[in-house]
Structures are given as structure tokens and as C-alpha cells.
Amino acid sequence: MTSTSAVSTALAPYGWDDAWADQFTPYAAEGLLPGRVVRVDRGQCDVVTADGVIRADTAFVTPHDPMRVVCTGDWVAVDPAGSPRYVRAYLPRRTAFVRSTSSKRSEGQILAANVDHAVVAVSLAVELDLGRVERFLALAWESGAQPLVVLTKADLVPDPATLAHLVQDVETSAPGVPVLSVSARDGEGLDVLTAVLGSGTSVLLGQSGTGKSTLANALTGEDAMTVQAARDVDGKGRHTTTTRNLLALPGGGVLIDTPGLRGVGLYDAETGVGQVFAEIEELAGRCRFHDCAHEAEPGCAVLAAVDSGELPARRLDSYRKLKRENQWIVAKTDARARAELRRDWKRKHAEGRAAVEAKRKGWR
């Protein structure tokens, strides 16, 4: 059996520490082998262990719950030998990046586990979609990881003033989040990004065509991921990455590259939404009514900030949209939240009818 010191030496580059070793103690007593999942596909996974990378079956870990399946980034206990080898359990996750599934059952889908940094890649080859950036950041904050926005393909914006303006636009939509402009093509900004990601585990998120795989190759110093060209007409690309892969970085730390995400539905991300729109949440505390919806209520500090130009109307619209979406997802699985949402709908409907009736009386 591999010694404890050998395990620590072999797995330390992948994030193994004394806390993980303590949690693994019961499984070590059973003769199981610790390892980290570096790739999952079709009910099997690749696990890096002190004995090298092994292939293991995940059938013993609940396969029908999207939140409990083995995912990239998990620390697992695997059979020490045999064919096939099985994952017997995974250690409790410190953080988890979760989105809602595309099914009508309102389930969560875990994309990556035990992540310290959530890197949101945004391409400068196309017009910035700040609403999508805010959506990714809400999921990132909710995961427990520290978000970071990376504006890729900075070489396509040669004017420094224009680039600085784009960075500022994103910073306004990402309070408390570092924003870096990077060009994998000419190396601009890679030294700063490498330093940030040099410890812990990072997950690389974004749509297809944002240059995630090119960035992953630049960070690893090798062609770890295949790269496909984006379409010139809209800057979009085909899925270069089809599975989530955990890659060791030469300067320290590990990186999980994910497939391009077309849909990033929220999943019980109230805290994350609140952090993305921290300035709106702060303004809301000054409203006359504690349950102010920031729509037409008297004494609304949020609407006053929009009127004065302090708060961009776009930010408020995005905040409302994500709040409604999150309430809807939670209500589909939480009876109390569902009842509160129904009462809110009835109140708004009654207010709307009263407003129409008032207008009719005014016309007479």
C-alpha cells in the first residue's frame, strides 16, 4: 500500500492537504486509495492518485441525482486494485459550482467541485453582454469561490483607451471582483493571471468562442486542449471542450476547463445575486418599506438612485430579472417560497387592476 507521505507528495500539486487527509482517514482504514477526479464521462472517471491516473467506475455513488454524482474536482476514495475499479465515495465538498438543469424538474447540476477561483472568460471579439457576466458571477459567488473576470482576446482591442473603457464597464457590473484583460496570443496579462491562479483550484467558465481552451493552453504551457476557430461573423465558436478536465499548472495550482455553457440558469442563488448587485441591496436598506419591490413604491431609494443617475437602469433591470428567475426556481421546489410567490403575484395583479380602474375614473 502507498505510504501516507507518498500520497501527500504525489497529490499535493492537485490540492491535497492535511484537512483532506483527516477526512479520508475512515476510508484509509478500509484500504481505499485517495485521489482527485480529473475527468468524468459516461459513468466513468479518470482519477489522479499516488499510483498514477486510473480509470474508475462511478456506479456506487448515487447516479440519478445530478447534485450527488461524481464530478471533476471531487476528492474520492477508490478501490486500490481490481478490474473494473470503483469510486466508493467522495469527500464532502468545500465548494460547488451549480447551475439549474435544462429539464423541467428544476434540478441542480454540479459542474465542478472544491473550487477556490471561478474565472469567467468574456471575449472582447464581440460586444460585451454585461447581463450574462452578472449571471455567471451570481453562480460563482453562490458556489463559495472567489470570482474573477478575464477579458480574453485583448489583442483585438489595440487602443488602450478603448480597452480601459471596456474594463471599467465590466468592473461597474462586477463589484468586488477583479477584472483582467488578457491576450493568450501575445501573452498580455498572463503573468498576472498565472500569479492569481498559482494556488488552489480554479474553474474556467464561459460561452463557446471566448477563448477558454486557448487560455488553458497558455496557462499550462502546452496544447492540453484542442482549439477551434471562432466564426468571424459573431465571434462564436463550436464546443472545443466536451468534458470538464482538471489540469495541473506548471507554476502551481490546478485549472478545471469546462465546455462552453450556452445556458447558465440560476439554481437557488439568492446570496450570489445579492453579492453581484451589492450596491442595489445596500440602497434597498434605505427604502421606506422593508418589502419594497423597487417598481413604483413611494420612498424607494433604489428608484431615486436610478433617477439621479447614481444607478444605471440596466443594472436594476438585470437585478430584477435574476431575482425573478431565482424565485421561480426556488418556488418550484419549496412550498413556502411557492406560496409567497403566489401571494406576490396576486398583490401585483390587484395593484394593476386598481391602477387601470383609477385611469378609467380619471377619463370620465
pLDDT of residue 230 exceeding 80, the answer is no
pLDDT tens-digit series, residues 6-20: 888 899 999 999 999
pLDDT of residue 332 exceeding 70, the answer is no
Cα(301)–Cα(281) distance, integer angstroms = 10
Burial class (CB in 10 A: 0-12, 13-18, 19+), 171: middle
The pTM (predicted TM-score) of the whole model is: 0.80
Output phi, psi for 233, to 5 deg.
-65, -35
pLDDT of residue 356 exceeding 60, the answer is no
Residue 345 pLDDT class (50, 70, 90 cuts):
very low
Give the type of residue at 183. S
Residue 231: what pLDDT?
39
pLDDT tens-digit series, residues 127-178: 999 999 998 999 899 889 999 999 999 999 999 999 999 999 999 999 999 9
pLDDT tens-digit series, residues 31-86: 999 999 999 988 899 999 999 999 999 988 866 777 788 999 999 999 998 888 99
User: Higher-confidence residue: 183 or 360?
Assistant: 183
Residue 354: what pLDDT?
60
Bridge partners of 40, per DSSP, are 45
Cα radius of gyration rounded to whole Å, the chain: 23
Q: In the predicted model, what is the mean pLDDT of residues 79-100? A: 90
pLDDT of residue 193 exceeding 60, the answer is yes
How much of the chain exceeds pLDDT 90, in percent? 55
pLDDT of residue 228 exceeding 90, the answer is no
How much of the chain exceeds pLDDT 70, in percent? 79
Q: In the predicted model, what is the mean pLDDT of residues 338-346? A: 52
Burial class (CB in 10 A: 0-12, 13-18, 19+), 337: middle
Q: What's the grid cell of residue 131? A: 447581463
Residue 337 pLDDT class (50, 70, 90 cuts):
very low
Q: What's the grid cell of residue 282? A: 445596500
pLDDT of residue 239 exceeding 60, the answer is no
pLDDT of residue 233 exceeding 80, the answer is no
Cα(206)–Cα(260) distance, integer angstroms = 6
Tell me the three-class secondary structure of the chain, residue by residue. CCCHHHHHHHHHHHCCCHHHHHHHHHHHHCCCEEEEEEEEECCEEEEEECCEEEEEECCCCCCCCCCCCCCCCCEEEECCCCCCEEEEEECCCCCEEEEECCCCCCCEEEEEECCCEEEEEEECCCCCCHHHHHHHHHHHHHHCCEEEEEEECHHHCCCHHHHHHHHHHHHHCCCCCCEEECCCCCCCCHHHHHHHCCCCEEEEECCCCCCHHHHHHHHHCCCCCCCCCCCCCCCCCCCCCCCCEEEECCCCCEEEECCCCCCCCCCCCHHHHHHHCHHHHHHHCCCCCCCCCCCCCCCCHHHHHHHHCCCCHHHHHHHHHHHHHHHHHHHCCCHHHHHHHHHHHHHHHHHHHHHHHHHHHHHC
Residue 343: what pLDDT?
59
Question: Phi-psi region for residue 117, left (φ > 0), alpha (ψ -120 to 50) or beta?
Answer: beta
Whether residue 44 contacts residue 57, with contact meaning beta carbons closer than 8 Å, is answered with yes
Residue 346: what pLDDT?
56
pLDDT tens-digit series, residues 265-295: 666 778 889 999 999 999 999 999 988 989 8
Whether residue 61 contacts residue 87, with contact meaning beta carbons closer than 8 Å, is answered with yes
User: Higher-confidence residue: 261 or 203?
Assistant: 203
Cα(321)–Cα(98) distance, integer angstroms = 19
User: Higher-confidence residue: 339 or 77?
Assistant: 77
Residue 67: what pLDDT?
79
Residue 314: what pLDDT?
96
Cα(19)–Cα(12) distance, integer angstroms = 12
pLDDT tens-digit series, residues 108-135: 778 899 999 999 999 999 999 999 999 8
